[in-house]
Structure formats: structure tokens, C-alpha cells
Amino acid sequence: MTDAQTAPGGAAGAPPRVFSGIQPSGGLTLGNYLGALKRFVEMQDSGVETLYCLVDLHAITVWQDPAKLRHATRELAAGFIAAGIDPARSILFNQSQVSAHAELGWVLNCVARMGWLGRMTQFKDKAGRNRENASVGLFAYPCLMAADVMVYHTTHVPVGEDQKQHLELAREIALKFNHDYEVDFFPVVEPVIEGAATRVMSLRDGTKKMSKSDASDMSRINLTDDADTISLKIRKARTDSEPLPDNLAALSERPEARNLVNIYAALSDQTPEAVVAQFAGQGFGSFKPALAELAVSVLAPINDEINRLMGDVGEIDRILGAGAARADAIARPILEQTYDIVGMVRAR
């Protein structure tokens, strides 16, 4: 047995560890908050070790204006903290400060197969028609994402529905690595896709995901929107003219109505069933103001806190630096063991 195989922290009996990431490629949306951030806070509060990463290396798979990227990274850090991530309890950091991510990413580029990556729907969507012109990084994106989770021997990854395929690929990569090198080293991660809002839809089109990259700002609620803007966007959200029914099944053909019910449920920590029971028979003329009031009551304090934190970017940079040092202390030994397993000569 190599040193690596006998070292602690192998796949068998790995302790639970939570990792997730968000790209600093624009502001946070209500979709990020309900599908990801709010659940990151719940996991932090459940007592397991939690690592949350601002994945700046992923962001540059499509070109980013450097000044805007730096601003978005700090604002995203502020968003995490404002939403309830405590940098003393969770490890909060940006990806590029922990070089083990990129290093393991390279090793995993050599494990994953071209065919696996070519099937990724996010690549197909983002590359569009002109695939030949997409960056190599955009194609290899899922290998870096697999490295993000594997370099900590992560067991659980909370994400929204859209990341399911990437995490299935991360599982394939871990299994292939363990198989090819005849080790039981990398745990096979579990995606955690839970809650009423794993897929928050656009306010303009109930069949499209709410996204920070949508051309229309009216399609999304940003965590930096003020109370008036939030109310306006909800008032103008596309709906139909029917009142709300008393059961969810009756909403199956009404995606916009279903989306607003899901948002209400997730914001108020109720099930969508409870929400339709409460509003049965009422039209959007009364449901929308109730939703706007709820959204403002949850999001306005977060918005205020983001603004306050952004008044001292030095403090944000210090928090990210301290988080990176803690992350590095976990990742580096796992990377060293990986290098040992694949046959790299290392100084001892």
C-alpha cells in the first residue's frame, strides 16, 4: 500500500462535509437565495462542517470585465454573510486563493472523457451554436467543479436543480479515479436538491429559469433590489386571470402561478400545499401584494446588510483570506495524497 492509501480521510467512512459554490458572474438573484444560499445557512446551522466558495475560476470560463469580477466577488461574499453565513462557523472563501482546486482540476481533466463533457446541457446552452468558439475552460468546467468538491472529500453538495447533471458527472469522475488507480480514496458525493424552490422561474416566463444572465431585469429579483423595485417586479410578474385553486395539481398547466406559489412557500418556510390552502379562491390582485410584502420583509434586511458590508471591502478581503487559509489546510493534504496515488514524485 502507498502512503496515500493508508492515510486518514479516505472514502470509507468519510465524515460528512458540505461544500457548495456560486459564480461571482453577476449579482445574486432570488433563485440563488432560495435554491442555494438559504439552504447553505440551514446546513451551517445543522452543525456539520460547511465550506462555501465563490468560484471565480469558473466565472472566467466566459470573459469577465476584471473590475466587475472583483466587485461581484466581494458583493457575493457580502451576500453570503448578509444571508446568514457566519465566517467563523463556515469556511467562506474564493476559489482562486486555494490553488489545490485548479491542481486537482487538471488531474481530473485527465480522468474525465470528452464524451462525458460533451453531453453537459449547461455547456450546450452556454456555448450556443458556435461551439468551436467556446473557451476550453467552458468545456472543462465540470472537471473543475468535481475538483472543488473532491479536494475536500466532500460528502454533501446543496445545489439547485440545474446542477444535478454536473454532480452526477462528479460522481462518475470519482468512481473512475478510484477504479483506475485501484483505491477507495474519493467519496462519491450526494447532491442535496431540496425545498420548495429548487428551480425558481423567471417572472416573465414561467418555463425559463430565473437567471442573473437574463437580458430582462424584470425577469428576476436581485438581492440588491430595493423595496420599491421588488414590489414593482412582483406586481408586473406575468400571471393568468384565474384565481388560485385549493390544490397544487390544478396548477400543473399554470407555470407562472405555480412559480409565485413556490416562491411564497420558500420565503415563508411553508409547503406549497399550505400556501394554496391559504389563498384558495383569491386572485392575483390580492396574492401579489401579499407576496411583495413577504419578499420585502425577507429581502430588505439582507439588502441593507450587503450595503453595509460593502462599505468596508478591506474587511471582506480579510474574511476571504482567512477562509482560504482554512480551506487550504484541508485541501492541500488531500491533493498531496492524490499526487502520490497517481505517481508524482513529491518532496517529503
For the CA atoms of 140, 146, 149, 155, the dihedral, rounded to the nearest 10 degrees, stands at 160
Give, for 262, the enclosing helix (H) or strand (E): helix 255-267
21 contacts ligand TRP (rule: CB under 6 A): yes
Q: Could you tell me if 23 and 212 are in contact, meaning their C-beta atoms sit under 8 angstroms apart?
A: no
Nearer to ligand AMP, 210 or 251 (CB): 210
Residue 226 beta carbon to ligand TRP: minimum distance, rounded to whole angstroms: 26
223 contacts ligand TRP (rule: CB under 6 A): no
Q: Could you tell me if 271 and 262 are in contact, meaning their C-beta atoms sit under 8 angstroms apart?
A: no
163 contacts ligand TRP (rule: CB under 6 A): yes
58 contacts ligand TRP (rule: CB under 6 A): yes
Q: Is 255 left (phi over 0), alpha (psi -120 to 50) or beta?
A: alpha
Q: How far apart are the C-alpha atoms of 179 and 292, rounded to whole Å? A: 52
196 contacts ligand AMP (rule: CB under 6 A): no
Residue 32: contacted member of ligand AMP, ligand TRP, none (CB under 5 to 8 Å, by partner type): ligand AMP
Nearer to ligand AMP, 140 or 200 (CB): 200
198 contacts ligand AMP (rule: CB under 6 A): yes
Residue with cell 489546510: 329
Summary count for the chain: helices (H), strands (E): 15, 5
Residues 190-219 that bind ligand TRP (CB under 6 A): none
Q: How far apart are the C-alpha atoms of 110 and 105, rounded to whole Å? A: 9
Exposed, middle or buried by CB within 10 Å (0-12, 13-18, 19+), for 253? exposed
Residue 35: contacted member of ligand TRP, ligand AMP, none (CB under 5 to 8 Å, by partner type): ligand AMP
Q: Which listed residue (17, 209, 233, 258) binds ligand AMP by CB under 6 A?
A: 209
Helix 313-342 / helix 100-109 crossing angle, nearest 10 deg: 40
Residue 158 amino acid letter = P
Task: List the x/- string, 147-186, binding to ligand AMP by CB under 6 A.
Answer: ------------xx-xx-----------------------
Q: How far apart are the C-alpha atoms of 91 and 73, rounded to whole Å? A: 15
Residue 107: contacted member of ligand AMP, ligand TRP, none (CB under 5 to 8 Å, by partner type): none
Q: How far apart are the C-alpha atoms of 206 and 257, rounded to whole Å? A: 8
Active site residues per annotation? 126, 209, 212
Nearer to ligand TRP, 59 or 276 (CB): 59
Which residues make beta-bridge pairs with 191? 157
Q: Could you tell me if 283 and 234 are in contact, meaning their C-beta atoms sit under 8 angstroms apart?
A: no
Q: Could you tell me if 88 and 318 are in contact, meaning their C-beta atoms sit under 8 angstroms apart?
A: no
3-state secondary structure of 75: helix
Residues 5-34 that bind ligand AMP (CB under 6 A): 22-23, 31-32
Residue 149: contacted member of ligand TRP, ligand AMP, none (CB under 5 to 8 Å, by partner type): ligand TRP
Nearer to ligand TRP, 55 or 230 (CB): 55
Residue 341: contacted member of ligand TRP, ligand AMP, none (CB under 5 to 8 Å, by partner type): none
Nearer to ligand TRP, 148 or 225 (CB): 148
Q: Is 120 left (phi over 0), alpha (psi -120 to 50) or beta?
A: beta
Nearer to ligand TRP, 18 or 82 (CB): 18
Nearer to ligand TRP, 142 or 206 (CB): 142
- The one segment of 63-71, 156-164, 275-283, 333-341 that binds ligand TRP by CB under 6 A: 156-164
Contact residues: ligand TRP, CB under 6 A? 19-23, 55, 58, 145, 148-149, 157, 159, 163, 166
Contact residues: ligand AMP, CB under 6 A? 22-23, 31-32, 35-36, 159-160, 162-163, 197-200, 209-210, 212
